[in-house]
Structure 1
Amino acid sequence: MDLDKLRHRFLQFGGWSLLWQYAKMGVLWCGIKALIRCVVSGASVKTAYPSIIQGVEEILVKRYRPILDKRLHEQAGAECGTIQNGVPRIVWCAWLQGIEQAPALVKACIASQKRALPDYEFRFIDRENYRQWTSLPRHVVDKFCKGKIPSALFSDLLRLSLLTKYGGIWMDASVYCSGFGNPDLKNRWERILSSELTLFRYFEPGRKAPVALSNWFIAAVPGQRVLSIVLEMLLAYWQDFDCTVDYYICHLYLVLVLREFPSVFNNMPRANSRTSLLLSKAFAREYSEEDWQKLTAHVSIHKLNYRKEEEALRHPNSYCRYLLNQENDV
């Protein structure tokens, strides 16, 4: 990460307010020392981040854990919600600036989603229409409008709120769907639809337990317990804070709450982020029809990075150019 990008992130996450919060949390000096070590050793400043965030996450868990404990106490002995009807056939997708303003790759991804799921209702969310579908507390909306809540974290609140209220499938606008062209892919998708909750998780080869989870794809039944508790915790955080002390706070609380619902966790389909990122990693490489067929025979949902579009298009025969041309030909 270069200094210009670091400065942009610093301002985006709260600027001096962020430093003040880190000082109050007692992690600022630890972070400064880690940054100095990076400068001296010539290492990337990214390596300083874990030194700060470990202490921050311990504080965030301790501070908002009572919300989880209260909900667990309220639900003790209660019947679990039924999933007889499965996940509603609704796809939620957001580009807060408006789909018309989205990069070409994002538009191609959305087109691929609609082509792969023709019998689903697509609901596109932006900053002008989200109030038609859900309501967020006044303090959250005000902080978002003032730039205190970054768009990505506001999107986290939207996806949790919408899925808790309506259920369905949230896919980031940078998710490409290559279709369900064989029985194995179709069966995997049907399992997602029949499950209470599905998140993509990162499974390393040879390991049964995931090492991380993602929130760029979430399928859920209405009123899903894990999502509703995480939403409540995040709303409480934004009641108290005016800056982003942890960019991955949504992931932090998803992991925390899922631990308390082992039946939900254990019944979740094995959707692997590692394989869904393979296309993104090959984005600027020369397109191979044989490799593409092999990949799409095993993976139907691909998480891409629209920020890589410009670089990938420098190659005349890249995978990125292939995807864009494919959508233009439709």
Structure 2
Amino acid sequence: MSRSKELADRFLSHARTFSWGYATTELLTVLDRPVSLKLHKPFSMRLMHMKERYIMHWARSFFREEIERYHNHTAMASQISSPNAPVWLCWLQGIDQAPELVQLLIAQTRRQSGSHPVRIITLENYNDYVTLPHDFIAKYESGKMPQQQFADVLRSALLAQHGGLWVDTSVYLSQPIPESVFSSPIYNVKNILPNRTREAVACDFTKWQAYFIASQPKSITYSFITDCFLKYWRHYDTLIDYFLFSYLAKIARDDLPGGRAEFNMIPDNNPECEWLCDYLMDGSPYSARTYNQIRDGDTFVYKLSTKCDFPTRTKEDMPTMASFLFDNLRGNN
């Protein structure tokens, strides 16, 4: 399917399901991104805020029963020892089908997980670990649910049912994962510095990200989010927004006293987790000083991307930081 037909189909689906106004705003935000990147300017915050206001108003109305049901749930104690909490990774097609960078990052996550068991979720084994309704699975298998959304629901349900830590396979962990991540009621990167382009992609981008999230079993936050996801897909056949997860997390911490308490227990952390991807894309030369800061600094979670180009040689034909970093992951340094 061509990109233009995909956008037209999504516009019509959103217009019929939600409103013509929302469909127009959502389309404009999508069209703004390539233009902004070409002009080297930030994405439009005005469009983002328009879309956010619509989605938050719609979500608070649609999920009103879930908000009321979880409103009086009390957050658990501040720290709970969880030495056997799992680390969840996911590549639905199977790790053997993953790009080399993903395989290198998975191996690095294994090394940094200490004694915590690492579970890799695939299409072949996900139902060994998580229980989801048949009608939800049918939506995915019929093609009505995007694969990204299926993975979002998997991570939320795994945390709600079993607890542990979800790490995206595009995350580089420069240091061992602290035990405080596993013992907190919930954990996520918090109050991070924005990267060059994506601050206006999702609501509260710097407060919460889905690529590194942890929870105790039955936390208010991820139990609520999972229930909302399942309700959404019982009623709809089209995804309102790629970052629906972010909006549900915002409602959990803004509208649920227990969810707010869980979120407030998380200290600010990993301030530069979005910086490294930009740095590697720039083709910056290897610097021992910078590498030591990456390895030993106050950020241990770095979000990379399999969709970005990371040059391995500078214009002067010197090795870049990306070349050194990835060779180190291969064990070549």
Question: Which residue pairs with 1:117 in the alignment?
Answer: 113
Question: How do 1:1-330 and structure 2 match up within 5 A?
Answer: 8=6, 14=10, 16-23=12-19, 26-28=21-23, 47=44, 48=47, 50-73=49-72, 75=73, 80=76, 84-86=80-82, 88-180=84-176, 189-204=178-193, 211-259=206-254, 260=256, 261=258, 262-272=260-270, 274-284=271-281, 285-298=284-297, 299-308=299-308, 310-313=309-312, 315=314, 317-329=319-331
Q: Report which stretch shifted further, 62-71 or 311-320.
A: 311-320
**Which residue identity lines up with residue 224 of structure 1 in the other structure?**
S
Q: Secondary structure at the match of 1:27?
A: helix
- TM-score, structure 2 normalization: 0.80
Q: Secondary structure at the match of 2:209?
A: strand
Could you tell me how far apart the structure 2 residues matched to 1:102 and 1:108 are? 10
Could you tell me how far apart the structure 2 residues matched to 1:37 and 1:303 are? 23
**Which residue identity lines up with residue 294 of structure 2 in the other structure?**
L
Q: Report which stretch shifted further, 196-205 or 218-227.
A: 196-205
Q: Does the Cα contact within 8 Å between 2:91 and 2:98 map onto a contact in 1?
A: yes
Q: Secondary structure at the match of 1:282?
A: helix
Q: Does the Cα contact within 8 Å between 1:88 and 1:221 map onto a contact in 2?
A: no
Counterparts in 2 of 1:40 and 1:109: CA distance versus 1, 3 Å: closer
Counterparts in 2 of 1:5 and 1:178: CA distance versus 1, 3 Å: farther
* 1:171 CA displacement: 0.3
* 1:319 CA displacement: 2.7
Q: Does the Cα contact within 8 Å between 2:11 and 2:24 map onto a contact in 1?
A: no
Q: How many residues align?
A: 309
Q: Secondary structure at the match of 1:212?
A: coil
Counterparts in 2 of 1:118 and 1:6: CA distance versus 1, 3 Å: farther
**Which residue identity lines up with residue 311 of structure 2 in the other structure?**
A
* 1:111 CA displacement: 0.9
Could you tell me how far apart the structure 2 residues matched to 1:35 and 1:118 are? 41
Q: Does the Cα contact within 8 Å between 1:57 and 1:246 map onto a contact in 2?
A: no
**Which residue identity lines up with residue 109 of structure 1 in the other structure?**
L
| Ranges in structure 1 where 5+ consecutive residues have no aligned partner | 181-185
Identity across the alignment (%): 23
Deviations 1:209-244 (A, max 9, x none): 995311111111111121101110111111111111
- TM-score, structure 1 normalization: 0.81
* 1:53 CA displacement: 4.5
Counterparts in 2 of 1:84 and 1:328: CA distance versus 1, 3 Å: closer
Could you tell me how far apart the structure 2 residues matched to 1:288 and 1:217 are? 27
* 1:276 CA displacement: 1.0
Deviations 1:27-72 (A, max 9, x none): 2355678899999999899645554443133212221132121222
Q: Secondary structure at the match of 1:302?
A: strand
* 1:88 CA displacement: 3.7
Counterparts in 2 of 1:87 and 1:201: CA distance versus 1, 3 Å: farther
